[in-house]
Amino acid sequence: MSEDHIDAPIVKRIGYNAVDLWELSKKPDDHELLFDYPTVYLIYNRDKKGKYDVYVGETNDIKQRTRQHLIEDPKTREDWDELRISEDASMIIIGHNRFNKSLTLDIENKMMLYMSGITDVDRLNNRRENEQNKYFTDDIRDVIFSKIWRELRTVDNDLFPLERIIQDSAIFKASPFHKLTDEQNDAKNLILERVSEALIGNQTGQLILVEGEAGSGKTVLLSTIFYLMTQYSHNDEFPEFKNTRNFLLVNHDEQLKVYEDTIEKLGIRGDGEKIVSKPTTFINNHEPEDKVDVVLVDEAHLLWTQGKQSYRGKNQLRDIMARAKVTIAIFDPKQVLKTEEYLEAEQILALENHAYKQNNLIKLKNQLRINADDQTVDWIRAITDERVIKPMHKDSKGYDLRIFDDPVKMYHEIQKLNGDREKAGLSRLLATFDWPYKQKGHPDDSPYWMVNTGDLSLPWNLQLPVDESQSHLRKHLSWAEQSQTVDEVGSTYTIQGFDLNYAGVIIGPSVKYVDGKIVFDPELSENKNAVRNRTLSNGKKAQVSDELLANELNVLLTRGVNGLFIYAVDSDLNSRLHGEMMTKIRMVRNNE
């Protein structure tokens, strides 16, 4: 159904008190949809720093529910008492002539999703999980929600920014309030069932391995499970989860930042324990003799398989499993990037067999990130999986795949798209790690480590001074979300685990095209973590760079949701890529 055939919502803001609600109830024009039908509502307060505390809810009786919040809830919860006594607290009530119970629950859940992606929302409350299955009006949910959101922007455009701005935030993309696909939902139910069985049976050594390629929805699945288990741990309806000790680990600075902000916003606490951390921190702070209940590991392919820095063990996953009854690991062997993360084929198979024998091996097959048809996804994957360049075609979904012969033009296109926040949005340049970079110090002849190719010369990897308007937010924003990084080039170290609307990828000189095949030259890579020798399980040292450099390129090529632009430094490679694009253009024109 078109948007024009769906009525506008009724959105009313009042002071959060019984008097304002009573006066609103006496207005005949608003009475029926707001007081006789299901509604969605928000209660919020803004502090002197401009930060919001927000509660999102839905109800069949807004009068009774408000009375409960004002009188009963403050007796047991400090946050409700703070809202009750605040003179500035507001309440927004939302009604619509299409609302039914399932739809209001779904709108409530999506409102939580959007609120979780807003930087100025410090604390977000709901404490329920309301994802709905199919229902009569589910096909118009998104249209109604967008109408509601546009109306909310007229009430408070600070609390309710443009939808695209929210959708571009990293914390939104990893939020536990996304509506899961059937595949994700089946995986979620299976995982929770297996965890429940393990806890009831006091089983240990359980490994639930969730495999899936980049963009298959692994992080959202993990985030949802972690959130649900934290809710269950305080809910008498799930006795096996009651007071469980659950932890979430990730070996990636940028992704760790997202999870830390998420649990802070949702008020998730760990009874004095750091429940979101890096693996080494968890391992050093826990002993096998005092096992925790569940550990969830995102990006488990980034776990170390040898000692490094403060970690003195030999395998982080093995050490985590020794300290947990159940370990849930999200894993993609095609995203292993460093020699200290490397696993031999036999070791990966052993890991899969361990999970399989416990009926705990789950494989996600759907591609959720790249908004392209199967042929385009296959074209992208063939570059690293098969080392070939297949014929290009016109994407049936409109995915924007382009080859550039000038990196400066690609940079300008990325700038333009990034500036169009309503139609395009978050766009960045990325590159294979083929230019020098060190975290400390700078080159003798420049204040920054630079990516130099053709006439393009840009700093990379989070070196530019942060924009003053975002300086107070830097610790909460991923690399791509920081506005100054549109004038930088990112690498796998800043972009892995995240996505962009449009990604411009500079394929550096380490990637060549020779005799009809793509080859990787470790001599031309500056990625020391990928090109140094690795000691194998048999004690011999070996070069594994061919696999790791291919994985690096795979990560970069799979970041763009709506478009991928490529410029290759190797002239033969760029010529081959450009030739395929021109052939595609001619074919499209001939068919029109």
38 contacts: CB under 8 Å, gap ≥ 6: 58, 59, 60, 99, 100, 101, 103, 104
Whole-number pLDDT of residue 57:
95
Average pLDDT on 343-355 reads 96
pLDDT-derived band at 474, boundaries 50, 70, 90: low
Q: What pLDDT score was predicted for residue 2?
A: 53
d(CA 288, CA 291): 6
What's the mean per-residue pLDDT of the chain?
Answer: 92
Q: How far is CA 392 from CA 129, 506, 581, in A?
A: 43, 19, 6
pLDDT value of residue 174: 92
Strand, helix or coil at 266? coil
Portion of the chain with pLDDT greater than 70, in percent: 96
**CA geometry: angle 530, 433, 581, nearest 5 deg:** 115
**132 has pLDDT over 80:** no
With a cut of 80, say whether residue 585 has pLDDT above it.
Answer: yes
Give backbone dihedrals phi and psi of 476, rounded to 5 degrees, phi first. Answer: -100, -5
Average pLDDT over residues 405-413: 98
Read off the pLDDT band of 11 (50, 70, 90): very high
Residue 500, both tokens: 């962009």
Concatenated DSSP letters of 156-204: -TTTS--HHHHHTSHHHHT-TTSPPPHHHHHHHHHHHHHHHHHHHTT--
Burial of 26-59, coded b for 16+ CB within 10 Å and e otherwise, reads eeeeeeebbbebbbbbbbbbbeeeeebbbbbbbb
What is the spatial order of strands in the sheet that 52-59 belongs to? 10-15, 90-95, 39-46, 52-59, 121-125
Q: What pLDDT is recorded for position 133?
A: 60
Mean pLDDT of 224-239: 90
Six token digits for residue 467: 């924009």
Report pLDDT for 422.
81
Which pair of tokens denotes residue 104?
A: 């209001």
Percent of the chain exceeding pLDDT 90 equals 78
pLDDT-based confidence at residue 79 (cuts at 50, 70, 90): confident
Is pLDDT at 270 greater than 90 in this prediction? no
Above 60 in pLDDT, residue 130?
no
* Confidence at 455, pLDDT banded by 50, 70, 90: very high
C-alpha torsion sign, points 199, 201, 207, 208:
negative
Q: Which residue has the tokens 């488990």?
A: 300
Distance between CA atoms of 513 and 564, rounded to whole angstroms? Answer: 20
DSSP conformation letters of 458-504: EEBSS-SPPPGGGGGGGGGS-GGGSGGGGGSEE-HHHHTT--EEEEE
Residues 419, 410: contact at Cβ < 8 Å?
no
Mean pLDDT of 258-284: 90
The pTM is what?
0.91
Residue 586, pLDDT score: 84
Residue 134 has a pLDDT of 60
Q: How far apart are CA 411 and CA 204, in angstroms?
A: 52
Q: Rg of the chain over CA atoms, in angstroms? A: 26
pLDDT in tens, 133-171: 665 677 888 999 999 999 999 999 999 999 999 999 999
Please say if the pLDDT value at position 30 is more than 80: no
Q: Is the pLDDT of residue 468 over 80?
A: no
Give the pLDDT of residue 267: 86
- Per the DSSP assignment, residues forming a β-bridge with 362 are 210
Confidence of residue 272 (pLDDT cuts 50, 70, 90): confident
229 has a pLDDT exceeding 80: yes
Tell me how far apart the alpha carbons of residues 288 and 271 are, in angstroms, rounded to a whole number.
20
Distance CA 343, CA 226 (A): 27
Of the candidates 422, 389, 446, the residue with the CA atom closest to the CA atom of residue 575: 389
Q: Measured between alpha carbons, how far is 42 from 55 in angstroms, rounded to an integer?
A: 6
Question: How far is the C-alpha of 168 from the C-alpha of 562, rounded, in Å?
Answer: 12
- What CATH architecture applies to the domain 182-363? 3-Layer(aba) Sandwich (3.40)
Structural domain spans, the chain: 3-161, 182-363, 374-591
Whether residue 127 is predicted with pLDDT greater than 60 in this model: the reply is no
Residues 528-581 pLDDT 10s: 999 999 999 999 999 999 999 999 999 999 999 999 999 999 999 999 999 988
Token representation of residue 543: 């070069």
